[in-house]
């Protein structure tokens, strides 16, 4: 009897375990091992030799890598704060207007555009042409209309170009945050808010003492999702500047080391760094999720 049960258990769990081992665990371990080997496209063998920690040293000392780490930090802070804050404000404020659906749809549209598509669009938005020529980019056309000189938005380092790229990310993801927050906001029971109003609370107090605490789980989930998204940021940078002018991020550097410079060892080390940066956020997310499950059960 017990025997049969075990057999059935493996029948159900087996495929999932196999897939995870083969497609996740094995590649992850191989990537970690490969990060201690030198350049070349072979996984192991004649062209790849053991180099110890030199790939890791590169990751934490090379100036371009340091710029990439700094930019990722900048992305993480600015992008996460802006998407979450804007998403939350929009969700709460738009709940009160008649044309809510229309506005929310418009703000949500960018989430449906591919990252590469969005990057190409914004490359045009930021386009720069010399003063004599008509500006084809919206931003510089406005600058010129206001009597100012056009700006090379993607070239001015280190702040303007990086922030210009981050704005693209915010444009894409704010709609997503807003939709999730909106759902959470609408699920707050009306009677609690009514009761607070009856007790004389103003709108700010309601927002600070009722809405926010009730939405905390959602905010945590959205924030961590955004952090995971932004740590992996690649497409926008790759399409718009290709990491030039100090706009490099971790993932774009990883791609270059792997596919342009054929240094699989170094690319692996960078990949592992990215994994270690993302892992704690994922663990936090999963913990929170299971705790909630327990609460529900």
Partner 1 sequence: MKRFLRFLAAINFTIFSATSAPASEVTVMHGWPAQQGAAFEKIVRAFMHEHPGVEVIVEVVGRDRPAFLATRLAAGNPPDLTPHPWLGRQTEWAQNNQIVCLDGLVDPSELLDALRPFGYVDGKLYGLFVFPNIKSLVWYNKGQFARKRYRPPVSWDAMIALSDKIVADGGTPWAIGLESGAASGWPGSDWIEDIMLRAAGPQLYDKWVQHEIPWTHPSVRRAFQYFGQIVLNPDYVFGGPTGALTTNFGDSPSALFTQPPRALMHRQATFIQGFIRTQNRGLVAGKDYDIFPFPPIDPSAVEPVPILVGGDVVNCFARRPEVIEFAKFLISKEAQEIWIKELGELSSNKRTNPALFTNPVTRKAWDILSDATISRYDASDMMPGAVGTGSFWSGVLDFVSGIPLNRVLEKIEESAQDAYSSN
274 vs 200: CA distance, rounded Å: 49
DSSP 135: P
The window from 41-49, 89-97, 197-205, 219-227 that contacts partner 1 (CB under 8 A) reads 41-49
Q: Phi first, then psi: what are they for 268, rounded to 5°?
A: -65, -45
- Considering only residues 262 through 281, tell me which ones interact with partner 1, judged by CB under 8 A: 262-263
The window from 202-210, 252-260, 271-279, 281-289 that contacts partner 1 (CB under 8 A) reads 252-260
8 vs 129: CA distance, rounded Å: 68
Q: Applying CB under 8 A, does 205 fall inside the site for partner 1?
A: no
Shortest separation between residue 56's beta carbon and partner 1, angstroms: 14
Q: Applying CB under 8 A, does 127 fall inside the site for partner 1?
A: yes
DSSP E strands, the chain = none
Q: Applying CB under 8 A, does 128 fall inside the site for partner 1?
A: yes
Burial class of residue 163, CB neighbours in 10 A (0-12, 13-18, 19+): middle
Q: Applying CB under 8 A, does 134 fall inside the site for partner 1?
A: no
User: Could you tell me which of 152, 120, 124 has the C-alpha nearest to residue 138?
Assistant: 124
At residue 165, the 3 state secondary structure works out as helix
249 vs 232: CA distance, rounded Å: 9
Question: What are the C-alpha distances in Å from 276 to residues 70, 115, 194, 228?
Answer: 16, 24, 46, 11
Q: Applying CB under 8 A, does 70 fall inside the site for partner 1?
A: no
The window from 89-97, 199-207, 240-248, 289-297 that contacts partner 1 (CB under 8 A) reads 240-248
Q: Phi first, then psi: what are they for 39, rounded to 5°?
A: -80, 180
Selected binder of partner 1 within 25, 28, 47, 290 (CB under 8 A): 47
The window from 14-22, 39-47, 213-221, 271-279 that contacts partner 1 (CB under 8 A) reads 39-47
- Number of chain residues interacting with partner 1 (CB under 8 A): 35
Question: What are the C-alpha distances in Å from 176 to residues 107, 172, 222, 253?
Answer: 9, 8, 9, 27
The window from 70-78, 150-158, 182-190, 209-217 that contacts partner 1 (CB under 8 A) reads 150-158
Q: Applying CB under 8 A, does 163 fall inside the site for partner 1?
A: no
211 vs 278: CA distance, rounded Å: 29
Q: Applying CB under 8 A, does 131 fall inside the site for partner 1?
A: yes
Selected binder of partner 1 within 31, 32, 38, 117 (CB under 8 A): 38
Residue with tokens 């710029």: 67
Selected binder of partner 1 within 42, 85, 114, 216 (CB under 8 A): 42
At residue 189, the 3 state secondary structure works out as coil
Selected binder of partner 1 within 30, 121, 138, 244 (CB under 8 A): 244
Residue numbers at the binding site for partner 1 (CB under 8 A): 38-39, 41-42, 47, 49, 51, 54, 58, 62-63, 127-133, 152, 154-155, 157, 238, 242-245, 256-263
């Amino acid at each position: 009897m017990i025997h049969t049960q075990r057999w059935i258990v493996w029948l159900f769990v087996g495929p999932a375990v196999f897939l995870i081992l083969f497609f996740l665990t094995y590649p992850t371990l191989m990537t970690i091992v490969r990060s201690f080997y030198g350049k070349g496209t072979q996984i192991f063998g004649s062209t790849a030799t053991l180099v110890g920690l030199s790939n890791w040293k590169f990751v934490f000392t090379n100036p371009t890598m340091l710029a990439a780490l700094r930019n990722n930090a900048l992305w993480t802070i600015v992008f996460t704060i802006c998407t979450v804050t804007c998403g939350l404000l929009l969700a709460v404020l738009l709940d009160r207007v008649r044309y809510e659906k229309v506005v929310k749809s418009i703000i949500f549209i960018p989430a449906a555009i591919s990252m590469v598509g969005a990057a190409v669009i914004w490359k045009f938005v930021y386009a720069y042409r010399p003063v004599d020529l008509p500006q084809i980019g919206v931003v510089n056309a406005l600058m010129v209309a206001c009597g100012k000189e056009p700006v090379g938005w993607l070239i001015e380092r280190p702040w303007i170009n990086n922030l210009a790229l981050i704005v693209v990310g915010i444009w894409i993801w704010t709609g997503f945050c807003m939709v999730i927050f909106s759902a959470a906001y609408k699920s707050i029971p009306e009677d609690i808010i009514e009761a607070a109003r009856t007790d004389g609370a103003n709108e700010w107090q309601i927002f600070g003492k009722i809405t926010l605490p009730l939405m905390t789980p959602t905010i945590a989930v959205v924030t961590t999702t955004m952090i995971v998204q932004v740590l992996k940021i690649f497409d926008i940078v790759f399409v718009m500047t290709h990491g030039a002018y100090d706009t490099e991020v971790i993932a774009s550097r990883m791609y270059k080391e792997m596919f342009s410079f054929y240094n699989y060892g170094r690319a692996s080390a960078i990949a592992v760094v990215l994994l270690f940066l993302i892992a704690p956020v994922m663990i936090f997310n999963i913990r929170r999720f299971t705790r909630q499950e327990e609460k529900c059960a």
